[in-house]
Amino acid sequence: VAPGSVRLCCGVISRGIALYEGKVIVPVVDGHLVALDAASGKVLWSVVAIPKENSQNYSLTMAPRVYKGKILIGTAGAEFAPFRGYLAAFDVNNGKELWRFYTVPGDPSKPFENKAMEVAAKTWSGEWWKYGYGMAWPTIRTPSWSMSGQATVFRGRRRFDKERDPNVLTICTSTRSLQST
């Protein structure tokens, strides 16, 4: 990692790797996701798994999960605005990004990525898209993630809506659609 290329809140942290069908899946703090051959250590593929825009605000510290051939991983960096937490899926065989589900609505002057973000945006006030938040943290063996960082400082003055401020999101790994909150 080049000095100054990534803003880290808590130092260089790795919360783990994943092993799957002879591959070692390694998230790198600079935002790369790497697959190694478990027997030889040879790099099979390496991709940048964080957004290109404001990339210095994102890092990968979460241990990836592999589910039905998809690597599921979220991002770190919510301490540095602008930041939109997300969960992404990558093909375990080639590293191709299959989908990305943001946990915070984007700039309302642009189209929303999906219906869930359009609905969520109605519950936010102020200029949330300039701040973001909502890192994904895996909690159970089902592909569900708890969301952290829901703070009124980033939500504006509006009170939390318990129906729309989930602690756990369940996302369909095939379609990236929100299944439950």
Neighbours of 46 (CB within 10 A): 14
**Per-residue pLDDT at 162:** 46
Do the domain assignments include residue 8? no
pLDDT band at 77 (very low <50, low <70, confident <90, very high): low
Does 5 reside within a domain? Answer: no
Nearest to 83 by CA among 144, 23, 148: 148
- What pLDDT score was predicted for residue 66? 92
* pLDDT tens, residue by residue, 50-74: 867 665 666 777 889 898 999 998 7
Going by C-beta distance under 8 Å and a sequence separation of 6 or more, which residues neighbour residue 118?
105, 112
Query: Could you tell me if residue 47 is inside a domain?
Result: yes
**Between residues 18 and 141, the one the model is more confident about:** 18
Instruction: Please report the DSSP string for 115-169 in residue order.
Output: HHHHHHHTT--SSGGGTEE-EEEE-SSSSEEEEE---HHHHTTPPP-TTTS-SEE
Cut 0.75: pTM above it: no
Has residue 101 been placed in a domain? yes
Q: How confident is the model at residue 76 (pLDDT cuts 50, 70, 90)?
A: low
Q: Which residues, other chains included, contact 94 with Cβ-Cβ below 8 Å and sequence gap of 6+?
A: 45
- For the domain that residue 158 is a member of, what is the CATH number? 2.40.128.630
Q: What is the mean pLDDT of residues 19-35?
A: 92
Q: Using one digit for the tens of pLDDT, what is the confidence trace for 124-158?
A: 776 777 765 555 555 544 454 444 444 444 444 44
Q: Is the dihedral of CA 133, 136, 139, 140 positive or negative?
A: positive
In a domain? residue 3: no
Does a structural domain hold residue 169?
yes
Structural domain includes residue 54: yes
Q: 105: pLDDT confidence band, cut at 50, 70 and 90? A: confident
Check residues 125 and 25 and name the one with the higher pLDDT.
Answer: 25
Q: Name residue, tokens 């945006």.
A: 121
Range of the domain at 74: 18-180
* Partners of residue 35 on adjacent β-strands: 25, 45
